[in-house]
Protein backbone atom coordinates (compact mmCIF):
# COMPACT_ATOMS: atom_id res chain seq x y z
CA UNK A 1 0.00 0.00 0.00
CA UNK A 2 1.46 3.34 -1.08
CA UNK A 3 1.13 6.54 0.88
CA UNK A 4 -1.23 9.00 -0.81
CA UNK A 5 -0.11 12.60 -1.17
CA UNK A 6 -2.11 14.81 1.18
CA UNK A 7 -4.37 17.53 -0.17
CA UNK A 8 -3.37 21.08 0.74
CA UNK A 9 -6.81 22.15 1.92
CA UNK A 10 -7.13 23.35 5.50
CA UNK A 11 -8.52 21.07 8.17
CA UNK A 12 -10.30 21.59 11.43
CA UNK A 13 -8.49 21.26 14.74
CA UNK A 14 -10.84 19.33 17.00
CA UNK A 15 -8.31 18.63 19.75
CA UNK A 16 -8.11 21.41 22.29
CA UNK A 17 -6.13 20.71 25.42
CA UNK A 18 -7.57 21.85 28.70
CA UNK A 19 -6.21 21.43 32.20
CA UNK A 20 -9.32 22.86 33.82
CA UNK A 21 -11.95 20.39 32.67
CA UNK A 22 -11.47 16.67 32.24
CA UNK A 23 -12.53 15.66 28.74
CA UNK A 24 -11.47 12.24 27.54
CA UNK A 25 -10.02 12.39 24.04
CA UNK A 26 -10.99 9.78 21.52
CA UNK A 27 -9.14 6.50 21.98
CA UNK A 28 -7.69 5.70 18.55
CA UNK A 29 -6.38 2.43 19.98
CA UNK A 30 -9.79 1.19 21.10
CA UNK A 31 -10.33 -2.53 20.52
CA UNK A 32 -13.21 -1.71 18.19
CA UNK A 33 -10.57 -0.79 15.59
CA UNK A 34 -8.93 -4.22 15.80
CA UNK A 35 -10.78 -5.31 12.65
CA UNK A 36 -8.56 -2.90 10.72
CA UNK A 37 -5.34 -4.72 11.59
CA UNK A 38 -6.40 -8.14 12.91
CA UNK A 39 -5.95 -9.78 9.51
CA UNK A 40 -3.71 -12.20 7.70
CA UNK A 41 -0.45 -11.13 6.15
CA UNK A 42 -2.02 -11.29 2.68
CA UNK A 43 -4.58 -8.65 3.67
CA UNK A 44 -1.89 -6.10 4.48
CA UNK A 45 1.28 -4.83 2.89
CA UNK A 46 4.55 -6.28 4.21
CA UNK A 47 7.07 -3.51 4.88
CA UNK A 48 9.73 -5.67 6.55
CA UNK A 49 10.44 -9.39 6.64
CA UNK A 50 13.56 -11.23 7.81
CA UNK A 51 14.69 -14.35 9.67
CA UNK A 52 15.72 -13.96 13.30
CA UNK A 53 18.58 -15.94 14.84
CA UNK A 54 17.36 -15.21 18.39
CA UNK A 55 14.43 -17.64 18.55
CA UNK A 56 11.74 -15.42 17.06
CA UNK A 57 11.55 -17.18 13.70
CA UNK A 58 10.47 -15.03 10.78
CA UNK A 59 10.00 -11.43 11.94
CA UNK A 60 7.73 -9.30 9.79
CA UNK A 61 5.96 -5.95 9.94
CA UNK A 62 2.67 -5.68 8.06
CA UNK A 63 0.93 -2.35 7.30
CA UNK A 64 -2.84 -1.83 7.26
CA UNK A 65 -4.86 1.33 6.52
CA UNK A 66 -6.15 3.28 9.50
CA UNK A 67 -9.49 5.07 9.48
CA UNK A 68 -8.52 7.51 12.26
CA UNK A 69 -7.70 10.31 12.28
CA UNK A 70 -9.47 11.16 9.06
CA UNK A 71 -7.91 13.42 6.44
CA UNK A 72 -10.10 16.25 7.68
CA UNK A 73 -7.87 16.52 10.76
CA UNK A 74 -4.44 16.20 9.18
CA UNK A 75 -3.98 19.97 8.92
CA UNK A 76 -3.85 20.29 12.71
CA UNK A 77 -0.97 17.80 12.80
CA UNK A 78 0.83 19.75 10.06
CA UNK A 79 0.52 22.91 12.15
CA UNK A 80 1.86 21.03 15.17
CA UNK A 81 4.89 19.87 13.16
CA UNK A 82 5.43 23.42 11.92
CA UNK A 83 5.31 24.81 15.45
CA UNK A 84 7.71 22.17 16.73
CA UNK A 85 10.22 22.98 13.98
CA UNK A 86 10.06 26.71 14.71
CA UNK A 87 10.58 26.09 18.44
CA UNK A 88 13.74 24.10 17.71
CA UNK A 89 15.20 25.62 14.54
CA UNK A 90 13.49 28.94 14.04
CA UNK A 91 11.21 30.08 11.23
CA UNK A 92 10.61 27.79 8.27
CA UNK A 93 10.20 29.09 4.74
CA UNK A 94 6.61 29.34 3.53
CA UNK A 95 7.25 26.94 0.65
CA UNK A 96 8.93 24.36 2.89
CA UNK A 97 5.98 23.30 5.01
CA UNK A 98 5.31 19.93 6.58
CA UNK A 99 2.76 17.66 4.96
CA UNK A 100 1.03 14.56 6.33
CA UNK A 101 1.01 11.53 4.04
CA UNK A 102 -1.35 9.53 6.21
CA UNK A 103 -1.70 7.04 9.06
CA UNK A 104 -1.28 3.26 9.16
CA UNK A 105 -1.44 0.38 11.56
CA UNK A 106 1.83 -1.53 11.69
CA UNK A 107 1.70 -5.07 13.14
CA UNK A 108 4.83 -6.91 14.27
CA UNK A 109 4.53 -10.68 13.74
CA UNK A 110 6.62 -13.69 14.64
CA UNK A 111 6.36 -16.66 12.25
CA UNK A 112 3.35 -15.03 10.57
CA UNK A 113 1.08 -16.32 13.37
CA UNK A 114 2.00 -14.55 16.60
CA UNK A 115 0.91 -10.92 16.64
CA UNK A 116 3.63 -9.56 18.88
CA UNK A 117 2.46 -5.94 18.87
CA UNK A 118 0.52 -3.38 16.88
CA UNK A 119 1.11 0.35 16.66
CA UNK A 120 -0.29 3.30 14.75
CA UNK A 121 2.15 5.41 12.76
CA UNK A 122 2.05 8.84 11.15
CA UNK A 123 4.00 9.46 7.93
CA UNK A 124 5.00 13.05 7.13
CA UNK A 125 7.48 14.90 4.94
CA UNK A 126 8.85 18.37 4.25
CA UNK A 127 8.01 19.99 0.93
CA UNK A 128 11.72 20.61 0.30
CA UNK A 129 12.30 16.83 0.46
CA UNK A 130 9.14 15.25 -0.98
CA UNK A 131 10.84 11.90 -1.57
CA UNK A 132 11.88 11.48 2.07
CA UNK A 133 9.27 10.86 4.72
CA UNK A 134 9.51 10.11 8.42
CA UNK A 135 7.40 7.54 10.24
CA UNK A 136 6.33 8.46 13.77
CA UNK A 137 4.72 5.99 16.14
CA UNK A 138 1.71 7.56 17.85
CA UNK A 139 2.60 7.34 21.57
CA UNK A 140 -0.95 7.92 22.84
CA UNK A 141 -2.33 4.93 20.93
CA UNK A 142 -2.22 1.58 22.76
CA UNK A 143 -3.85 -0.85 20.37
CA UNK A 144 -3.55 -4.13 22.28
CA UNK A 145 -5.65 -4.37 25.48
CA UNK A 146 -3.00 -6.02 27.64
CA UNK A 147 -0.86 -2.86 27.39
CA UNK A 148 -3.68 -0.77 28.84
CA UNK A 149 -4.08 -3.39 31.56
CA UNK A 150 -0.37 -3.26 32.46
CA UNK A 151 -0.42 0.56 32.51
CA UNK A 152 -3.65 0.83 34.53
CA UNK A 153 -2.87 -1.81 37.14
CA UNK A 154 0.83 -0.99 37.45
CA UNK A 155 0.51 2.78 37.85
CA UNK A 156 -2.48 2.46 40.19
CA UNK A 157 -0.40 0.10 42.35
CA UNK A 158 2.68 2.31 42.64
CA UNK A 159 0.45 5.32 43.32
CA UNK A 160 -0.94 3.33 46.27
CA UNK A 161 2.56 2.85 47.71
CA UNK A 162 3.16 6.36 49.06
CA UNK A 163 4.90 7.21 45.78
CA UNK A 164 4.38 10.75 44.50
CA UNK A 165 3.46 9.96 40.92
CA UNK A 166 2.36 13.55 40.29
CA UNK A 167 5.93 14.83 40.71
CA UNK A 168 7.11 12.28 38.17
CA UNK A 169 4.32 13.15 35.72
CA UNK A 170 5.16 16.85 35.83
CA UNK A 171 8.90 16.20 35.64
CA UNK A 172 9.71 17.52 39.10
CA UNK A 173 11.13 14.12 40.06
CA UNK A 174 12.82 11.41 38.02
CA UNK A 175 11.09 8.04 37.70
CA UNK A 176 13.33 5.14 36.71
CA UNK A 177 11.55 2.49 34.65
CA UNK A 178 12.83 -0.74 33.08
CA UNK A 179 10.99 -2.50 30.24
CA UNK A 180 12.10 -6.07 29.55
CA UNK A 181 10.96 -7.00 26.06
CA UNK A 182 10.51 -4.32 23.42
CA UNK A 183 8.36 -5.44 20.50
CA UNK A 184 7.17 -2.34 18.66
CA UNK A 185 7.99 -0.17 21.68
CA UNK A 186 4.52 1.20 22.40
CA UNK A 187 4.72 0.62 26.18
CA UNK A 188 7.97 2.54 26.88
CA UNK A 189 6.99 5.23 24.40
CA UNK A 190 3.63 5.74 26.12
CA UNK A 191 5.31 5.99 29.54
CA UNK A 192 7.98 8.46 28.37
CA UNK A 193 5.42 10.66 26.62
CA UNK A 194 2.91 10.73 29.50
CA UNK A 195 5.38 10.93 32.41
CA UNK A 196 7.80 13.81 31.92
CA UNK A 197 10.16 12.55 34.63
CA UNK A 198 10.30 9.01 33.28
CA UNK A 199 13.74 7.71 32.30
CA UNK A 200 13.12 4.39 30.58
CA UNK A 201 15.64 1.62 29.99
CA UNK A 202 14.47 -1.00 27.48
CA UNK A 203 16.03 -4.44 27.05
CA UNK A 204 15.51 -6.47 23.87
CA UNK A 205 17.51 -9.59 23.01
CA UNK A 206 16.77 -9.59 19.27
CA UNK A 207 18.52 -6.93 17.14
CA UNK A 208 16.04 -7.64 14.35
CA UNK A 209 13.13 -6.62 16.60
CA UNK A 210 14.97 -3.41 17.49
CA UNK A 211 15.58 -2.70 13.82
CA UNK A 212 11.96 -3.43 12.93
CA UNK A 213 10.64 -1.08 15.61
CA UNK A 214 12.86 1.79 14.47
CA UNK A 215 12.73 1.34 10.69
CA UNK A 216 9.17 0.10 10.23
CA UNK A 217 7.22 1.01 13.37
CA UNK A 218 8.33 4.59 13.97
CA UNK A 219 10.18 4.15 17.28
CA UNK A 220 12.74 6.92 17.94
CA UNK A 221 16.12 6.01 16.40
CA UNK A 222 17.98 8.16 18.94
CA UNK A 223 16.94 5.77 21.72
CA UNK A 224 19.19 2.92 20.53
CA UNK A 225 22.24 2.36 22.74
CA UNK A 226 25.44 0.52 21.75
CA UNK A 227 27.05 -2.18 23.95
CA UNK A 228 29.49 0.46 25.17
CA UNK A 229 26.58 2.45 26.59
CA UNK A 230 26.69 5.29 24.06
CA UNK A 231 23.97 6.40 21.68
CA UNK A 232 24.13 4.56 18.35
CA UNK A 233 23.18 7.86 16.70
CA UNK A 234 25.32 10.70 18.03
CA UNK A 235 22.86 13.40 16.99
CA UNK A 236 19.24 13.03 15.86
CA UNK A 237 18.39 14.37 12.42
CA UNK A 238 16.09 17.36 11.95
CA UNK A 239 12.90 15.37 11.52
CA UNK A 240 13.58 13.20 14.58
CA UNK A 241 14.14 16.32 16.66
CA UNK A 242 10.82 17.74 15.49
CA UNK A 243 9.00 14.51 16.28
CA UNK A 244 10.69 13.44 19.50
CA UNK A 245 12.58 16.25 21.25
CA UNK A 246 11.89 16.05 24.98
CA UNK A 247 11.01 12.34 24.78
CA UNK A 248 13.72 10.40 22.94
CA UNK A 249 16.44 11.75 25.28
CA UNK A 250 14.80 9.75 28.10
CA UNK A 251 14.61 6.44 26.22
CA UNK A 252 17.54 3.97 26.24
CA UNK A 253 17.09 0.86 24.11
CA UNK A 254 19.66 -1.87 24.79
CA UNK A 255 20.28 -5.05 22.80
CA UNK A 256 20.86 -7.55 25.60
CA UNK A 257 19.73 -10.75 27.23
CA UNK A 258 17.44 -9.80 30.12
CA UNK A 259 19.30 -11.91 32.67
CA UNK A 260 22.70 -10.54 31.68
CA UNK A 261 21.39 -6.97 31.76
CA UNK A 262 19.82 -7.23 35.21
CA UNK A 263 22.84 -9.05 36.67
CA UNK A 264 25.27 -6.40 35.41
CA UNK A 265 23.13 -3.38 36.19
CA UNK A 266 23.39 -1.20 39.30
CA UNK A 267 20.40 1.07 38.69
CA UNK A 268 17.49 1.18 41.12
CA UNK A 269 14.12 1.11 39.39
CA UNK A 270 10.78 2.39 40.58
CA UNK A 271 8.92 0.19 38.10
CA UNK A 272 9.80 -2.83 35.97
CA UNK A 273 7.55 -4.00 33.13
CA UNK A 274 8.11 -7.48 31.70
CA UNK A 275 6.67 -8.68 28.40
CA UNK A 276 9.21 -11.15 27.03
CA UNK A 277 7.86 -13.92 24.82
CA UNK A 278 9.75 -15.67 22.04
CA UNK A 279 8.58 -16.72 18.58
CA UNK A 280 6.90 -19.80 20.04
CA UNK A 281 4.93 -17.67 22.52
CA UNK A 282 6.99 -18.96 25.46
CA UNK A 283 7.92 -16.90 28.52
CA UNK A 284 11.49 -18.15 29.21
CA UNK A 285 11.65 -20.26 32.37
CA UNK A 286 14.74 -18.46 33.64
CA UNK A 287 12.67 -15.26 33.88
CA UNK A 288 10.25 -16.81 36.38
CA UNK A 289 12.22 -19.59 38.05
CA UNK A 290 12.19 -18.62 41.78
CA UNK A 291 15.73 -20.02 42.13
CA UNK A 292 17.13 -18.25 39.09
CA UNK A 293 19.79 -15.51 39.34
CA UNK A 294 17.43 -13.29 37.32
CA UNK A 295 14.62 -12.98 39.88
CA UNK A 296 16.98 -12.42 42.80
CA UNK A 297 18.87 -9.73 40.90
CA UNK A 298 15.61 -8.13 39.74
CA UNK A 299 14.46 -7.94 43.36
CA UNK A 300 17.70 -6.18 44.28
CA UNK A 301 17.23 -3.66 41.46
CA UNK A 302 13.75 -2.70 42.67
CA UNK A 303 13.15 0.26 44.98
CA UNK A 304 12.70 -1.14 48.52
CA UNK A 305 9.76 1.09 49.52
CA UNK A 306 7.54 1.33 46.45
CA UNK A 307 9.15 -0.83 43.75
CA UNK A 308 6.52 -2.33 41.44
CA UNK A 309 6.82 -5.14 38.89
CA UNK A 310 4.23 -5.68 36.14
CA UNK A 311 4.28 -8.88 34.08
CA UNK A 312 2.23 -9.73 31.00
CA UNK A 313 1.13 -13.37 31.04
CA UNK A 314 -0.64 -15.42 28.40
CA UNK A 315 -3.23 -16.97 30.67
CA UNK A 316 -5.60 -18.73 28.26
CA UNK A 317 -7.99 -18.69 31.22
CA UNK A 318 -11.16 -18.56 29.16
CA UNK A 319 -10.44 -21.90 27.49
CA UNK A 320 -8.68 -23.85 30.23
CA UNK A 321 -10.12 -26.80 32.06
CA UNK A 322 -11.78 -26.08 35.44
CA UNK A 323 -8.61 -27.25 37.22
CA UNK A 324 -6.52 -24.70 35.32
CA UNK A 325 -4.91 -27.20 32.97
CA UNK A 326 -4.98 -26.81 29.20
CA UNK A 327 -7.12 -29.21 27.16
CA UNK A 328 -4.81 -31.82 25.61
CA UNK A 329 -5.67 -30.74 22.09
CA UNK A 330 -4.53 -27.19 22.89
CA UNK A 331 -1.43 -27.88 24.96
CA UNK A 332 0.90 -27.36 22.01
CA UNK A 333 -0.72 -24.14 20.84
CA UNK A 334 -1.27 -22.63 24.30
CA UNK A 335 1.94 -23.52 26.12
CA UNK A 336 1.98 -20.86 28.86
CA UNK A 337 -1.49 -20.93 30.38
CA UNK A 338 -0.87 -23.81 32.77
CA UNK A 339 2.16 -22.01 34.27
CA UNK A 340 0.47 -18.75 35.24
CA UNK A 341 -0.03 -19.64 38.89
CA UNK A 342 3.62 -20.71 39.19
CA UNK A 343 4.83 -17.44 37.67
CA UNK A 344 2.66 -15.43 40.05
CA UNK A 345 3.89 -17.34 43.10
CA UNK A 346 7.55 -16.97 42.07
CA UNK A 347 7.37 -13.20 41.62
CA UNK A 348 5.32 -12.69 44.79
CA UNK A 349 7.69 -14.79 46.95
CA UNK A 350 10.93 -13.34 45.59
CA UNK A 351 9.94 -9.68 45.29
CA UNK A 352 7.90 -9.17 48.47
CA UNK A 353 8.40 -12.41 50.39
CA UNK A 354 5.94 -13.94 52.81
CA UNK A 355 5.13 -11.18 55.25
CA UNK A 356 8.64 -9.95 56.01
CA UNK A 357 9.06 -6.23 56.30
CA UNK A 358 10.67 -4.31 53.48
CA UNK A 359 12.16 -0.88 53.87
CA UNK A 360 10.33 -0.34 57.15
CA UNK A 361 6.93 -0.81 55.52
CA UNK A 362 4.52 -3.62 54.97
CA UNK A 363 6.07 -6.12 52.60
CA UNK A 364 3.59 -5.41 49.83
CA UNK A 365 1.35 -7.64 47.78
CA UNK A 366 0.72 -9.29 44.47
CA UNK A 367 -2.46 -9.38 42.42
CA UNK A 368 -3.62 -10.33 38.96
CA UNK A 369 -6.27 -8.92 36.64
CA UNK A 370 -7.58 -10.55 33.49
CA UNK A 371 -7.44 -8.60 30.25
CA UNK A 372 -10.68 -8.05 28.31
CA UNK A 373 -11.01 -9.44 24.76
CA UNK A 374 -7.75 -11.40 24.80
CA UNK A 375 -6.44 -14.33 26.87
CA UNK A 376 -3.89 -12.41 28.91
CA UNK A 377 -3.37 -11.73 32.59
CA UNK A 378 -1.48 -8.81 34.14
CA UNK A 379 0.48 -9.69 37.26
CA UNK A 380 1.43 -6.82 39.58
CA UNK A 381 3.76 -7.22 42.55
CA UNK A 382 4.47 -4.10 44.60
CA UNK A 383 6.23 -3.14 47.79
CA UNK A 384 4.86 -0.87 50.50
CA UNK A 385 1.24 -0.98 49.39
CA UNK A 386 -0.61 1.67 51.40
CA UNK A 387 -3.34 -0.44 53.06
CA UNK A 388 -2.22 -0.99 56.60
CA UNK A 389 -3.38 -4.32 57.95
CA UNK A 390 -5.66 -4.81 54.97
CA UNK A 391 -3.62 -6.95 52.61
CA UNK A 392 -5.90 -9.93 53.09
CA UNK A 393 -9.04 -7.89 52.35
CA UNK A 394 -9.64 -8.13 48.61
CA UNK A 395 -12.29 -5.39 48.55
CA UNK A 396 -10.13 -2.89 50.44
CA UNK A 397 -7.21 -3.48 48.07
CA UNK A 398 -9.34 -3.19 44.96
CA UNK A 399 -11.12 -0.04 46.17
CA UNK A 400 -7.75 1.57 46.88
CA UNK A 401 -6.57 0.75 43.36
CA UNK A 402 -9.81 2.01 41.80
CA UNK A 403 -9.55 5.30 43.69
CA UNK A 404 -6.00 5.79 42.42
CA UNK A 405 -7.03 4.83 38.89
CA UNK A 406 -9.51 7.72 38.73
CA UNK A 407 -6.71 10.09 39.72
CA UNK A 408 -4.46 8.58 37.04
CA UNK A 409 -7.00 9.14 34.30
CA UNK A 410 -7.15 12.84 35.15
CA UNK A 411 -3.46 13.44 35.76
CA UNK A 412 -2.32 11.61 32.62
CA UNK A 413 -5.30 12.65 30.49
CA UNK A 414 -5.74 9.04 29.41
CA UNK A 415 -7.89 8.30 26.36
CA UNK A 416 -9.28 5.20 28.08
CA UNK A 417 -10.79 4.30 31.44
CA UNK A 418 -8.59 2.30 33.83
CA UNK A 419 -11.56 0.88 35.70
CA UNK A 420 -12.29 -2.09 33.45
CA UNK A 421 -8.63 -3.08 33.52
CA UNK A 422 -8.51 -3.16 37.33
CA UNK A 423 -11.85 -4.74 38.25
CA UNK A 424 -11.96 -7.56 35.71
CA UNK A 425 -10.94 -10.88 37.26
CA UNK A 426 -9.15 -9.23 40.17
CA UNK A 427 -7.37 -11.85 42.34
CA UNK A 428 -4.98 -11.30 45.25
CA UNK A 429 -1.95 -13.60 45.03
CA UNK A 430 -1.72 -15.41 48.36
Average pLDDT over every residue of 206-213: 97
Q: What does pTM read for this prediction? A: 0.88
Q: How confident is the model at residue 202 (pLDDT cuts 50, 70, 90)?
A: very high
Q: Rounded distance, CA 218 to CA 81, Å?
A: 16
Which residues have C-beta within 8 Å of that of residue 194, sequence separation ≥ 6? 139, 169, 412, 414
Q: How confident is the model at residue 316 (pLDDT cuts 50, 70, 90)?
A: low
Which residues have C-beta within 8 Å of that of residue 248, sequence separation ≥ 6? 220, 222, 223, 236, 240
- The answer to whether residues 316 and 375 touch, using CB atoms and an 8 Å cutoff, is yes
Q: Does domain 145-205+256-318+332-428 have CATH number 3.40.50?
A: yes
Q: How confident is the model at residue 115 (pLDDT cuts 50, 70, 90)?
A: confident
**Is the per-residue pLDDT at 41 higher than 70?**
no
Domain ranges of the chain: 31-137, 145-205+256-318+332-428
Beta strands in 133-257, from DSSP E residues, in sequence order: 133-137, 175-180, 198-204, 224-225, 251-255
Give the pLDDT confidence score for residue 2 in this predicted structure: 41
Average pLDDT over every residue of 348-377: 77
Average pLDDT over every residue of 308-335: 59
Top-confidence residue, 330 or 313: 313
Average pLDDT over every residue of 99-118: 92
Beta strands in 127-197, from DSSP E residues, in sequence order: 133-137, 175-180
Cα 36 to chain centroid distance, Å, stands at 20
Q: What is the pLDDT of residues 328-345, one digit of tens each?
A: 544 444 444 568 888 999
Q: In the 8-state DSSP scheme, what is residue 305?
A: T
Q: What is the pLDDT of residues 216-270, one digit of tens each?
A: 999 999 999 998 889 999 999 989 999 999 999 999 999 999 999 999 999 999 9
Beta strands in 207-270, from DSSP E residues, in sequence order: 224-225, 251-255
Which residues have C-beta within 8 Å of that of residue 9, sequence separation ≥ 6? 75
Average pLDDT value over all residues in the chain: 86
Among 85-94, 168-177, 180-189, 211-220, the least confident range: 85-94
Average pLDDT over every residue of 52-60: 92
Q: Rounded distance, CA 30 to CA 38, Å?
A: 13
Amino acid sequence: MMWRRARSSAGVNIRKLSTAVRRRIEDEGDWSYASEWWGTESEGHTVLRSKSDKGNGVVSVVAYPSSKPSELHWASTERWLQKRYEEIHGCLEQNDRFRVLGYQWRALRFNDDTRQSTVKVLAAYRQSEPGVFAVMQQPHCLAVPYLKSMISAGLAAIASCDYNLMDAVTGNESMRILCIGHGGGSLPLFLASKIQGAVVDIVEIDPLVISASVKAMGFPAFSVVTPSGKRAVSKPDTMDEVLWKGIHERLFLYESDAEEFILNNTSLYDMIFIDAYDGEDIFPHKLWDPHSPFLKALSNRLHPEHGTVVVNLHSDTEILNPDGSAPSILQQTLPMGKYVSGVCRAYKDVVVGNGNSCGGKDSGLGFTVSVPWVCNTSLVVCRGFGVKGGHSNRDVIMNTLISKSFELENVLNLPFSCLQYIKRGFIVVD
